[in-house]
Structure 1
């Protein structure tokens, strides 16, 4: 049902609506940017409603082993994972399992109440557009789980950042595995070990935008409770399988990523990792698989029923009434584009499509916190954007 017509030549893909010479020029520009940057590796892609127009990797997936970063290289995509969560949420609503305007406590086996506004209802919609008043606290740093200890590379960093990085590395190396339910309860249920009034805004729900990773994780847990199924299985069934995203998922016994990139934090390799809060940021994919997803989103936004109904796309990607609010249902929406970005240890990512011409851009990078990293990634995105103007 969902077909993507891909012509693979060497390491990039194209369709006839984009001139070959134009794409060759893009490759040359991106090669130059990579060569002059502090980024270990990245991939960039251009998408339209029919599939992938261009996808190319640059630099290294693993510098020490001289493994190139290609369009097939898999890595976590940080907060772009929330676009998967958005679609899962809308699917659960379509199935009649929940409603965006439900009180969250109608679906939770415990109660979460803002102590500053105990009489105010927090809805699923509030969580999804980041106006719930549920805040990320210091305990969120306990989410990182590394397969082996991070080595003390911080000794090589400048004095200004060495101490804080050392503190984080030591914390990450002591983190313990726990369930998503336990992680949520410990922070937001009164009387639990990490609970604090500081985890809640003084503003009432629905009034003020404040980005919240933990709000997203509570939504994923609500989905699990409502559909009576593991969130990852629900996503596999309703998103990954229909779209043939065969190289995507969350690290688990069922999913062992192929062609996985090593992540570089401050330019130093870090061990493979996962998050206790996997729904908010540790979804793993590559530009080809996520390109299928983004192309499907473009189709749905423009009137096609596919993995969601068109009406669900319109609700999910509705532009907020105020520019201060910024989000639809997890998607960032403004006058010109719809999508999401992400950043985490060793990760910078961007995925957006333009309202004007329905062309999408994906940039996945396996490096963070190096000199000028954010500016260098922005230059990659803007260079790719320049080539979407036909």
Structure 2
């Protein structure tokens, strides 16, 4: 019996699914066109090369996307139930270039043979689709452009990358969490949260997250807009008195770093930071550019936004984020107003000096920054996954609000993606990424989510020289190896 071979025409390729039987292959796709050809040699059953004339073919295509060229061919039309996931019926087109086949026939016997071959192939196709419609679900071929499923083989590869980063960057410790569609698929700690006491880092270790805090501050502002307590186009002077640029700069420009307000960290000595000193430095500084004319990252923007949250909500910043974000969404290990050292499973901060991780006096340095809305949050990788899942799922702010937050400011030519409201917007291997890095004395980390893929990578370290972005991209390629 001849083997029937499915050949794909040279149309626009999209993802497809394949079902296989011995010496036969049927492939369905909503946009591609396929040809079944006969061969007496089973070895060519899956070959793209056919020894038969192109006129002797059965064409199968979905009528939803069938091309005009296919519709012009002689066709016998019949309705077939769809075997797709949606369960809806769809019509299939079956056509045979019969006249072309006869033209190639030189004897009545060959003519009859071509007719029998066509009839046999048509019956096999009908039988295959009917079997699928009755509930027999064939095996689904892997889509080469899709994500690689997590299995035990990936664990040693992730561990190898993590240990390589630990050694190359002289890290004291760090924690890693990977999630897909809100479910943790990998969570692990490496090294130590306290080297001297040999306390290991785990997925539950608490770190200061530095500027990742800005995600929470921006969300607090947007919650207040949804409450009707403020508008992002209000001038900041409505909420922060005594600011010379108060009528020139809007909350929107603070959120997306287009305000021109000078960064207080370039004015003050980090070791003497307090909130009153930071505000005094901001009030005494001049704008570095015309508001709205360009992008320049400035921590001062989020210092001012913290004051806005306090004024509009009539409660301290840390109380507002605790009541509206941390508690409702189960961020039980997340806090503002303390230091990691004061918390259970808290990490000691380190910096690298001459190739070795040395502890820094994070308790004294952080004590003055307890209520800073640009970098005061302490949390774990597990809580950040909860945060990503709740935010991206539309459970914290409305979808239209989230869309506004994820819209770039478009003021930086050398950065084609940009910054939204508290979130960096980037692409990794062609995948849209919502991301923010954080660094403070003794700590560094990154919170990256890929909303179109439902994929999250969160890394936090108690070493402030951690190059987290390099490791993130290497881990991402393990799950998406065939991307750009």
If each structure's strand is expressed as a fraction of its own residues, which one has the higher value? Answer: 2
CA distance in structure 2 between the aligned counterparts of 1:140 and 1:386, rounded to whole angstroms: 40
CA distance in structure 2 between the aligned counterparts of 1:36 and 1:131, rounded to whole angstroms: 36
After superposition, the Cα gap between the structure-2 partners of 1:205 and 1:293, relative to the gap in structure 1 and judged at 3 Å, is: same
Question: Are the aligned partners of 1:52 and 1:292 in contact in 2 as well (CA < 8 Å)?
Answer: no
CA distance in structure 2 between the aligned counterparts of 1:96 and 1:141, rounded to whole angstroms: 35
Other-structure match for 1:381: 472
Question: Per the alignment, in what secondary structure is the counterpart of residue 101 of structure 1?
Answer: coil
After superposition, the Cα gap between the structure-2 partners of 1:358 and 1:319, relative to the gap in structure 1 and judged at 3 Å, is: farther
CA distance in structure 1 between the aligned counterparts of 2:285 and 2:309, rounded to whole angstroms: 25
Normalising by structure 1, we get a TM-score of 0.75
Question: Are the aligned partners of 1:316 and 1:331 in contact in 2 as well (CA < 8 Å)?
Answer: yes
CA displacement at 1:242 relative to structure 2: 1.2
Q: 2:308 aligns with which of 222, 239, 242?
A: 222
Q: Which runs of 5+ in 1 are unaligned?
A: 1-15, 145-171, 190-194, 301-305
Other-structure match for 1:41: 173
Q: 1:359 aligns with which of 455, 462, 478?
A: 455
Question: Per the alignment, in what secondary structure is the counterpart of residue 221 of structure 1?
Answer: helix
CA displacement at 1:256 relative to structure 2: 4.5
Larger radius of gyration: 2
Question: Are the aligned partners of 1:77 and 1:342 in contact in 2 as well (CA < 8 Å)?
Answer: yes
After superposition, the Cα gap between the structure-2 partners of 1:277 and 1:212, relative to the gap in structure 1 and judged at 3 Å, is: farther
State whether structure 2 residue 424 is matched by structure 1 residue 332.
yes
Other-structure match for 1:112: 243
Normalising by structure 2, we get a TM-score of 0.61
State whether structure 2 residue 188 is matched by structure 1 residue 97.
no
CA displacement at 1:32 relative to structure 2: 3.7
Question: Are the aligned partners of 1:217 and 1:277 in contact in 2 as well (CA < 8 Å)?
Answer: no
CA distance in structure 2 between the aligned counterparts of 1:196 and 1:70, rounded to whole angstroms: 43
CA distance in structure 2 between the aligned counterparts of 1:268 and 1:64, rounded to whole angstroms: 10
**Pairing of 1:53-202 with structure 2 (within 5 A):** 53-108=185-240, 110-114=241-245, 121-137=248-264, 141-142=268-269, 144=270, 172=271, 175=272, 178=274, 180=275, 182-189=276-283, 195-197=284-286, 200-201=287-288
Q: Which runs of 5+ in 2 are unaligned?
A: 1-147
Q: Deviations over 1:51-107 (max 9, x none)?
A: 322111101111111111111000101111101111111111111111100011112
**Pairing of 1:309-324 with structure 2 (within 5 A):** 309-324=398-413
Other-structure match for 2:318: 232
CA displacement at 1:257 relative to structure 2: 1.9
After superposition, the Cα gap between the structure-2 partners of 1:217 and 1:26, relative to the gap in structure 1 and judged at 3 Å, is: same
CA distance in structure 1 between the aligned counterparts of 2:278 and 2:463, rounded to whole angstroms: 29
CA displacement at 1:360 relative to structure 2: 1.4
CA displacement at 1:17 relative to structure 2: 5.4
Other-structure match for 1:5: none
Question: Are the aligned partners of 1:49 and 1:296 in contact in 2 as well (CA < 8 Å)?
Answer: no
CA distance in structure 1 between the aligned counterparts of 2:201 and 2:266, rounded to whole angstroms: 34
Question: Per the alignment, in what secondary structure is the counterpart of residue 393 of structure 2?
Answer: helix
CA displacement at 1:187 relative to structure 2: 1.6
- Bigger relative contact order, structure 1 or 2, given CA contacts below 8 A and separation 6+? 1
Question: Are the aligned partners of 1:351 and 1:361 in contact in 2 as well (CA < 8 Å)?
Answer: yes
CA displacement at 1:184 relative to structure 2: 4.5
Q: Deviations over 1:203-256 (max 9, x none)?
A: 211111111111101001111001101111110111101111111102349x95
After superposition, the Cα gap between the structure-2 partners of 1:362 and 1:91, relative to the gap in structure 1 and judged at 3 Å, is: same
CA displacement at 1:383 relative to structure 2: 2.6
Deviates more, 1:341-350 or 1:24-33: 24-33
Question: Are the aligned partners of 2:194 and 2:348 in contact in 1 as well (CA < 8 Å)?
Answer: yes
Aligned length in residues: 318
Other-structure match for 2:344: 258
Question: Are the aligned partners of 1:48 and 1:295 in contact in 2 as well (CA < 8 Å)?
Answer: no
Other-structure match for 2:396: 307
Question: Are the aligned partners of 1:130 and 1:215 in contact in 2 as well (CA < 8 Å)?
Answer: yes
**Pairing of 1:273-312 with structure 2 (within 5 A):** 273-274=366-367, 275=369, 278-300=372-394, 306-312=395-401
